[in-house]
Structure 1
Amino acid sequence: MDPLSRCPSEADLAGRARACEGCPGRELCLSQSTLDPDQEQIDCRMKAIKHKILIVSGKGGVGKSSIAASLSMALAQMSHKVGLVDLDICGPSVPKLLSVEDQVVVNSTWGWQPLKSPFYDIKVMSTGAILNEDSRAVIWRGPRKTALIKRFLKDVYWGRLDFLMFDTPPGTSDEHLTVVKVLKGVEPDGAVIVTTPQEVALDTIRKEIDFCRKMSLPIIGIVENMSGFICPCCQAKWDIYCRADVEKLASKHGITYLGRVPLDPELSKCCEYGQNYLERHKEAAGARAIISVTELIVDKLRSS
């Protein structure tokens, strides 16, 4: 078996496990597995936040960022104080989704001031807010991404929040390992997995479930996004994708199935123009589904 496929997921074993012998990246892992001098300050910031939730997906194109933004808006609409961290370093989309593209990050006495969305004053931090040019590619190696993610938690003045949401990039890579490791001391509530109803998406979701369990990250539930198209005129429903049974997959792995969010052209339009979908289309099937998913998440956290 390839030694890289047996790379230890536990931070304390990085560079020290038997599988690490002969690995070209061993020295780097050893240098990162020592006591982190930033951890105390990260813990101090994060302890002021009641709930910390990661939004994850096994693959791209499943609408994870739009779900992360929509859940944040739904929570804020319920009078919770909410923040959203965009951990997709190379492809940040949260600034557009929450209409903070024209704002700049200010460094104050208490740290970086997060951007404030016009949608219920949701606090936002993203690489999209600190890059000088929108068209500039972010070509960074893992250690530099890790350093920036830690700054988002350590140097941003989040204050007291009820929820801090983390919009992660697709897959299970540096960004995921970093955020799970630095949040370990403050016990994050877990991950919400987003998928579409296709077998090709479910194949990667099984890997995402395996990742969460290996990292001891609780799974709050699975959201089935883009689940059919509901005609806004006649309310008839069509399955755009070949349907795989997401609910059955959740049941098989003992995970809560949080519900379906249908395709809605109005949601796409609101995301494109940075508008509040939940306010502009309160009665739409998609808006009602997002509120229902959010209520299930809140109820589950209250009962846990």
Structure 2
Amino acid sequence: MAAVSETILAGVGNTLLVVSGKGGVGKSTATVQLAYTLRAAGHRVGILDIDLCGPSIPRMMGVEGKDVLTTPEGKWVPVFVDEEKRLSVISIAFFLESKNDAVIWRGPKKNAMIKQLLTSIVWDIDYLIIDTPPGTSDEHISLMENIRSASVLGAVLITTPQMIAVDDVTRELSFCRRTGINVLGIIENMSGFVCPNCSECSNILGTGGGEQLAARTQVSFLGRVPIDSSLTCCTEEGLSYVEKFANSPVSQVYRSIVHKLIGKELEDMEVEN
């Protein structure tokens, strides 16, 4: 039998971690938009949702309640989001009897589940995006320890502009550095709301906190994502925002972010007019 280290994230080209210091900053939403943007750029993409206590990815991608198939070898086949099978997802939510069930597990069981998710999925993708739980919990330590042998590009930190969120993300940044995870950059989410009628921008949650943190810690600032009610509707209904609103400011920001992350030109992306 092969060593566990040889089976971690088999079939995955490169891995991105999406992390935050606290809940409610739009980490899962950012994960989904990054995945759709990478797919639009022609890549095969997977999402691994290990936010065990708040697995919202399946609903955001319109695959809530789908069954996970199993191979004869006992491996799990990810759930495909599109007919072309270029975007797929695995989440703890698929293994719960009801979407309303709470995951009431102690640390050892959570860690065992994370290890199983990292070793028992049949991937064939260019990029895997891992949606992590908020904070710096036991699950984070288990994840970081297990992916040391995998090809990991690094972590993308998500924050909102206000300083109380930035302070929590600062702790997350410290955690990544202490555990040896490369920090690719910071996204300032929910940064300003542009009125669809008058085009005036209102900084509801403030502005600049994420960019200031990036400058202070010498980390790349990836972009400032404004609030868009259409994005909220798409995530509620399981629709692809970056396809439905390809020319929106938010979609343009995510294309810029992906360009910075993977270092490739995205001019040839298919865009709906």
TM > 0.5: yes
The residue matched to 1:263 in structure 2 has which SS? coil
Aligned 8 A contact 1:89 1:138 in 2: yes
For residue 228 of structure 1, what is the aligned residue in structure 2? 192
For residue 162 of structure 2, what is the aligned residue in structure 1? 198
For residue 281 of structure 1, what is the aligned residue in structure 2? 245
For residue 51 of structure 2, what is the aligned residue in structure 1? 88
Given candidates 25, 39, 55, the residue that maps to 1:62 is 25
Is 1:214 matched with 2:178? Answer: yes
Given candidates 117, 131, 138, the residue that maps to 2:103 is 138
Higher relative contact order (CA 8 A, sep 6+): 2
The residue matched to 1:278 in structure 2 has which SS? helix
Given candidates 125, 133, 146, the residue that maps to 1:182 is 146
Residues 262-277 of structure 1: matches in 2 within 5 Å?
A: 262-277=226-241
Aligned 8 A contact 1:73 1:120 in 2: no
Aligned 8 A contact 1:56 1:167 in 2: yes
The amino acid that maps onto 1:140 is: W
Is 1:71 matched with 2:41? Answer: no
- In 2, the alpha carbon distance for the partners of 1:101 and 1:176 equals 25
List per-residue Cα deviations over 1:169-197 (Å, max 9, x = no partner).
11011111111111101242110000000
- In 1, the alpha carbon distance for the partners of 2:40 and 2:117 equals 24
For residue 12 of structure 1, what is the aligned residue in structure 2? none
Given candidates 115, 118, 134, the residue that maps to 1:150 is 115
The amino acid that maps onto 2:121 is: V
The amino acid that maps onto 2:160 is: T
The amino acid that maps onto 1:283 is: N
Is 1:168 matched with 2:132? Answer: yes
The residue matched to 2:70 in structure 1 has which SS? strand
- In 2, the alpha carbon distance for the partners of 1:42 and 1:232 equals 50
- In 1, the alpha carbon distance for the partners of 2:197 and 2:248 equals 11
Aligned length: 262
- In 1, the alpha carbon distance for the partners of 2:39 and 2:243 equals 12
1:42 offset after TM fit, Å?
5.0
The amino acid that maps onto 2:120 is: D
- In 2, the alpha carbon distance for the partners of 1:163 and 1:250 equals 25
Identity of aligned residues (%): 37
Is 1:294 matched with 2:249? Answer: no
The residue matched to 1:262 in structure 2 has which SS? coil
The residue matched to 2:67 in structure 1 has which SS? coil
Is 1:247 matched with 2:216? Answer: no
The amino acid that maps onto 1:152 is: L
1:297 offset after TM fit, Å?
0.8
- Which residues of structure 1 form unaligned runs of 5+? 1-36
For residue 4 of structure 1, what is the aligned residue in structure 2? none
- In 1, the alpha carbon distance for the partners of 2:242 and 2:90 equals 22
Is 1:100 matched with 2:100? Answer: no
The 1:119–1:145 alpha-carbon spacing in structure 2 relative to 1, beyond 3 Å, is farther
Aligned 8 A contact 2:10 2:119 in 1: no
For residue 28 of structure 1, what is the aligned residue in structure 2? none
The amino acid that maps onto 1:92 is: P
- In 2, the alpha carbon distance for the partners of 1:215 and 1:243 equals 29
Question: Is the deviation greater in 119-128 or in 249-258?
Answer: 119-128
List per-residue Cα deviations over 1:257-302 (Å, max 9, x = no partner).
00011000000000011011011111211111111111111118xx
1:240 offset after TM fit, Å?
0.6
Q: TM-score, normalised by structure 2?
A: 0.91
Bigger Cα Rg? 1
Which structure's residues are more often helix, by fraction?
A: 1
